[in-house]
Structure 1
């Protein structure tokens, strides 16, 4: 089960500042979305709206057609998983799973216990004694096993080491295939997690910058590699994001789509056209004016 999420001209003010400004966004049911933005872009504010932690100052939020705020049935269909302070939590894992099972109608206890074993979490010590990595893994267990139609992971990997993150990513993809839901992953580990995303949403300074399929976004960038002089001639006049050189070989990352004629022209000059990582495009699209020599507005 999964639900559509829509925001219509949503703005949020607090503390005399505007955290979100005129956000219109639709997240189709059953997809995995990567939510990206620099610090202060408004990501956590947006997710807090979806989790019913606050109401918008203006505009409408709808999940499955309902306003989630103080709507108990809709709120039970949304999980917002984020870094949690368990320093006062004297309960053990069994108690945490019992609470989740009580309040989440789609919670799968058997799957949760399987995940506990996969992550190697101890069953018999209080959660407050867990390492930060264990606490992050426990959050991942609960978020996956909840199987809510809308599942949000906000930097949930914090504290996990690389092998534990790999377990999380693998389980996320496998369980999404078996139990599709609307999944939102907010992260700064863009280069590590980009293969998980179907669509990408980028916020910048409280505004929507873009929302589109990752394949389409990646088509907007390319790396041009070959003899230095040939690369310089080919990329002249293009939006250049980065340049690296080793001896007589140069690689330039450019922003822009290439048609077939350009690709043939590059091949005729011995140039290779390769993909650009999502992280490089994200840095470019959210760069400040003057932050690099070849910046141009999108």
Structure 2
């Protein structure tokens, strides 16, 4: 695999807040990444720094082996679809799409026109008067039709209904299959995007707490439910992410692989096992991280 983004010891501090703290990671060519985490975790800050729309306090960022700041060679190969993108006064959707077609060298007008129809986007309405969903549709169209070598989508679906979101997911995958590139999709609708992403990166409180392939993550945790004593006995020595009890019944989310023989024993003992979705896993991991900070001296 070819590395297209290399980040080392990235930190971003504001006056009283550290948005990103000593973060290091790399992104490979032709891979779809899920940049996941709760609101305010630092996802947008990281993307803004990578696309040279913000500046790091310290650390090193390399895109295609070069620094991105004031580097037209690098910036022309990236597209950043922001959740809060602003446009000049008086602009219509038509103006935004025309400008994008001039900026991005790999722009595909046929893809853009197809998406305009599917999203039913009004091209001649003042952008400041379109709905939130229509504003998001403009960004989605630009992000897909640009065919930039690296494309960042920052919560791109805000305001889109379920049908429009599915159109986005379907068309993104279709175009990626025909024209592979590196895509970073920031989202809190984790289960919706779990089938799109090939690698999961979770940021929590400004730090990367997970950076793994989606396949490796899927079997990382299991929910076990049953009689409290039996459940707790099985979980002894294992890492427990979450625990709930009601009467004599306990539900645990445990990390680690459970062997077929262990599963058979648990089933015989009347203990139920269930897979943990990607969203559940990330929620439990971030909760556990927050709880560990609270008890730290």
Aligned pairs for 1:131-150 (under 5 A) are: 131-150=131-150
Residues of 2 paired with 1:133 and 1:276: CA distance? 31
Question: Is residue 76 of structure 1 aligned with residue 76 of structure 2?
Answer: yes
Asked if 1:57 is matched to 2:57, the reply is: yes
In 1, are the aligned partners of 2:83 and 2:156 still within 8 Å (CA)? yes
Indicate the residue corresponding to 2:275 in structure 1: 275
Q: Which residue of 1 aligns with 2:25?
A: 25
1:210 alignment counterpart: 210
My pick for the range that moved more, 162-171 or 271-280, is 271-280
Scaled by the length of structure 1, the TM-score of the pair is 0.87
Count of matched residue positions in the alignment of Structure 1 and Structure 2: 293
Q: State the shift of 1:47 in Å.
A: 0.4
Contact between 2:242 and 2:288, CA under 8 Å: does it hold in 1? no
Are the structure 2 counterparts of residues 198 and 278 from structure 1 closer, same or farther at C-alpha, using a change threshold of 3 Å? same
Q: Name stretches of at least 5 consecutive residues in structure 1 with no aligned partner.
A: none
Cα 1:244–1:159 change in 2 (3 A) is farther
Q: CA-atom RMSD, angstroms?
A: 2.8
Give the deviation of 1:264 after TM superposition.
3.3
When residues 97 and 289 of structure 1 are mapped into structure 2, their CA distance, relative to the original with a 3 A threshold, is closer
**What is aligned with 1:130?**
130
1:87-98 equivalences in 2 (<5 Å):
89-98=89-98
Q: Report the CA distance between 1:271 and its aligned residue.
A: 4.4
The change in CA–CA distance for 1:296 and 1:200 in structure 2 (over 3 A counts) is: farther
231-240 or 258-267: which moved more?
231-240
- Listed as ranges, the matches of 1:1-298 within 5 Å are 4-84=4-84, 89-225=89-225, 231=231, 233-235=233-235, 238=238, 239=240, 241-243=242-244, 252-287=252-287, 291=291
Using a 3 Å threshold, how does the CA distance of structure 1 residues 23 and 243 change in structure 2: closer, same or farther?
same
